[in-house]
Structure formats: C-alpha cells, structure tokens
C-alpha cells in the first residue's frame, strides 16, 4: 500500500520521539511491503519561529492532502519561552486547536492501558489494579465549552466572565456512533459520562446517546455523572471499556485515566473526523524539561503510529506487530527513565535506555 503521511515534529521532545516512530514505520514498510511517503509540516512554536504563525494556511493544506498526520507535540515552557508573550491566538497551542477545527477532528480517542510489566508505576493499590485495566476514552473535540461564545465584561462596575456550552444533536450523534463502533471491536460496553442532573446540554447528550445505542443491541450502555466517573476511575478502573463524553469532561477524565496508568510516555491518542483521516499523537506534551537530552520515552508516539496503521490504513496485523514488539521489549526489562521502577524497588533484569535505543529495540523485535 502507498500511504501519504503528514509529519509534524513540533517542539520540545516532539522531533526526538517522532524520529523513532518513523524508524519503526520504515521497518514496518520494509517487512510488509508498503510505501510510506512523509511530508514535513510545521506547527506550534517552530512554526512561529519560521513564519510568525503557529499554523499557516499552507500547513493546513498539507495536512488536508495527507492520508493521516503523525504529530510529536507542540509548545514550550510557559514561564521562559517567548512564545507565551504572544496573544493567545498566536501561541503554539492555537495551532493545535486550529488544526482540529480545520480538519473537523471531532472524535478524540485515548487508550488508558495498564501494561502488566509496568504495574509498579500505577499509583493504585494492588487489590484495585487486579489483572489490570484497559479502557478507551472517546472525547468530543470540536464542540462544547472550549468553542462556545465567551466574554469578559464590566457589569455594574464589576468584572464578570462567561463561557457557553452548546451541543447540537448531530454533534452528539456522530461522536456517539464512533464510540459504539469502537466498543463493538472491544468489550462491548459504553459508559456515557455527563452531568444530566444539572446541565441541559447533558440531558440532550443522554437522549441522543440512547437513540444511538438502540442501533447497537450487543453493546451495554450505562450513564454515569462526571463527578462519579472521576471517583470510579480511581476506585475501580477495571469496570470501564469505552468512556464516551463531551469535550471538557473528556479533557479532565482522560488526563486522570492516563495518570492512573502511571506512565504518560506510554499513552497514544488519535483524533478522527468522519473520513478515514486521523491525527495521531502521544497523549503527553512537549516535555521541555527533558527536551534535547535523548531520554524521552518514544513509545507513546510509536503506539500512535500503530493506531494510525489500524484506524486510517486498516493495517491491523502491522499495528499488532508494533504492539507485540513493544511488549517484548518491556518483557526483556528495557525501560526509559520515566518508566523505571521507583527508587528503592527491585532493579534486577531492568536496563535503562534512551530514546534512540528504545526505538532500535522495538525495530529489532518487529
Ligand atoms: P508534559 O506532558 O509535556 O510533561 C509533563 C511531565 O511528563 C514532564 O515531567 C515530562 O518530562 C514528562 N513526560 C511527558 N512526556 C514524556 C515522555 N514521552 N517521556 C518521558 N517523560 C515525559 O506536560 P506539560 O509540562 O504540562 O506541558 C509542556 C508543554 O507541552 C506545554 O507547552 C503544553 O502546552 C504542551 N502540550 C502539548 C500537547 C500537544 O502537543 N498535544 C499536549 C499537552 C501539553
């Protein structure tokens, strides 16, 4: 197969981890007889430095022309980077919001999977972890509070601010359909998270999700209020398969779920629209604190590349091969610094490696 992949290396550790993902993709191409063509796209801080804009029209056109985009991460240290002296719509993060909107990427998928080899990194008690957990957070990405009308104004001599949370039924239906489709490929359970006891937008969310559920009789649907969901994620994460939720709830819960796995450097993500196109990126940020040191964990980005093969290119066996190779490398005790056992824990059989070595090991095990 001939695939055109847009590559946004971005800032901080982005270029380091993307290089390793491309190394793995090239090895997959060789082994399975595919051709991956890469088109380098500028976005984020590096784009500001080169063009004055975090995301240019040209970059959007390049992304639109690709079958899928692989992104490292964008942004810098908010305290020291000159990018954060710019107005909000000119900062690196504006590039991310802009590309999601321009490509209509309304569905964000974030797996939270506890690798048995990394159980030690999970902050939860052993009896809660049990045999581990494996959930997929499906977050609506282009509607709700982050895109609604907002204003800060003076009223009767006092400053007040408001934000609005709006969803229409079509926006809810299309993400719900995606959520149920994914559940069909997994354990066939959807937990729809809302705040229907208070919010009108949540009551509409619940109604539309129930309508969609009627078309998926094999999938079990449950509703959960967001405050309870935040609790249940640390009390009994095993109960979840697909968590389906709106933009802001998903933003918060997906970070909580990733922390519960204990290893941000292991978590991939995908943002999809209603075609096969997807933007694939690690869940973590640009980690300016470790950028340039060659120690970042490239696995989240490599797993994002595997998600790209699975969801955009329907290359399930190639994606499986990457995931299996990562498992073998972990089984053999190789760890980047972020997934090393905590100080004082057993180190027998564990070898610490840097970014490039981790990429090489995964290629070797393919
Ligand atoms: P972060 O995820 O970059 O870092 C949090 C902590 O996790 C740091 O200690 C970092 O060293 C560590 N970490 C993250 N990824 C790692 C990896 N692959 N290997 C090893 N350690 C890793 O979050 P932050 O510090 O809040 O944000 C830094 C910058 O990233 C900010 O500018 C923020 O806006 C940006 N950001 C970008 C994205 C994105 O590009 N999608 C997402 C989140 C944050």
Per residue in 66-88, pLDDT tens? 999 999 999 999 999 999 999 98
Cα of 12 vs centre of ligand 1, distance in Å, is: 9
134 is catalytic: no
pLDDT score at 224: 98
pLDDT score at 8: 98
In this prediction, residue 288 has a pLDDT band, given cuts at 50, 70 and 90, of: very high
Give the mutation target among 270, 287, 289 for probing the ligand 1 site: most ligand atoms within 8 A of CB. Answer: 287
pLDDT, mean over the chain: 95
Q: How far apart are CA 83 and CA 301, in angstroms?
A: 24
pLDDT score at 26: 98
pLDDT score at 116: 87
Please give the average per-residue pLDDT across 36-63, as a whole number.
98
The percent of residues in the chain predicted with pLDDT above 70, rounded, is 100
Query: Does residue 290's CB lie within 6 angstroms of at least one atom of ligand 1?
Result: yes
314 is catalytic: no
Order of strands, sheet of 189-194, starting from the edge strand that comes earlier in the sequence: 35-40, 2-10, 68-73, 278-282, 268-272, 107-113, 134-140, 242-245, 189-194, 220-225
pLDDT score at 347: 84
Stated pTM of the model: 0.91
Query: Does residue 11's CB lie within 6 angstroms of at least one atom of ligand 1?
Result: no
Please give the average per-residue pLDDT across 213-229, as a whole number.
98
Residue nearest to atom 43 of ligand 1 (CA): 285
Cα of 132 vs centre of ligand 1, distance in Å, is: 25
Per residue in 154-209, pLDDT tens? 999 999 999 999 999 999 999 999 999 999 989 999 999 999 999 999 999 999 99
pLDDT tops 80 at residue 262: no
pLDDT score at 122: 86
Per residue in 93-117, pLDDT tens? 999 989 998 999 999 999 999 988 8
Q: How far apart are CA 138 and CA 215, in angstroms?
A: 18
In this prediction, residue 263 has a pLDDT band, given cuts at 50, 70 and 90, of: confident
DSSP β-bridge partners for residue 268: 282
158 is catalytic: no
pLDDT tops 80 at residue 214: yes
């Amino acid at each position: 197969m001939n695939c055109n992949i847009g590559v946004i290396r971005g800032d901080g550790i982005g270029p380091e981890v993307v290089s390793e993902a491309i190394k793995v993709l090239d090895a997959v191409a060789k082994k399975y007889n595919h051709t991956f063509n890469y088109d380098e796209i500028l976005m984020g801080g590096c784009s500001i430095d080169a063009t004055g804009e975090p995301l240019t029209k040209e970059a959007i056109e390049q992304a639109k022309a690709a079958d899928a985009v692989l992104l490292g991460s964008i942004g810098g240290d908010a305290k020291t980077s000159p990018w954060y002296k710019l107005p909000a719509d000119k900062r690196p993060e504006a590039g991310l919001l802009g590309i999601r909107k321009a490509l209509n990427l309304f569905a964000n998928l974030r797996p939270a999977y506890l690798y048995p080899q990394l159980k030690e990194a999970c902050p939860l008690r052993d009896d809660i972890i049990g045999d581990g957990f494996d959930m997929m957070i499906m977050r609506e990405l282009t509607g709700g509070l982050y895109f609604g009308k907002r204003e800060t104004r003076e009223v009767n001599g006092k400053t007040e601010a408001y934000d609005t949370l709006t969803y229409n039924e079509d926006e809810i239906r299309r993400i719900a359909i995606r959520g149920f489709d994914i559940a069909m490929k997994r354990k066939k359970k959807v937990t729809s998270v809302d705040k229907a006891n208070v919010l009108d937008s949540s009551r509409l969310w619940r109604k539309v999700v129930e309508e969609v559920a009627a078309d998926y009789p094999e999938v079990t649907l449950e509703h959960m209020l967001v405050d309870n969901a935040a609790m249940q994620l640390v009390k009994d994460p095993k109960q979840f398969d697909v968590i389906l939720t709106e933009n802001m709830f998903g933003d918060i819960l997906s970070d909580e779920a990733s922390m519960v796995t204990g290893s941000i450097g292991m978590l991939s993500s995908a943002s999809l629209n209603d075609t096969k196109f997807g933007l694939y990126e690690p869940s973590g940020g640009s980690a300016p604190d470790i950028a340039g040191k060659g120690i970042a964990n490239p696995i989240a980005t490599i797993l994002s590349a595997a998600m790209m093969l699975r969801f955009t290119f329907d290359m399930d066996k190639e994606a499986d091969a990457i995931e299996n190779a990562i498992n073998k490398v972990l089984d053999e005790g190789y760890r980047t610094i972020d997934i090393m056992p905590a100080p004082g824990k057993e180190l027998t059989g564990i070898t610490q490696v840097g970014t490039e070595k981790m990429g090489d090991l995964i290629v070797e095990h393919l």
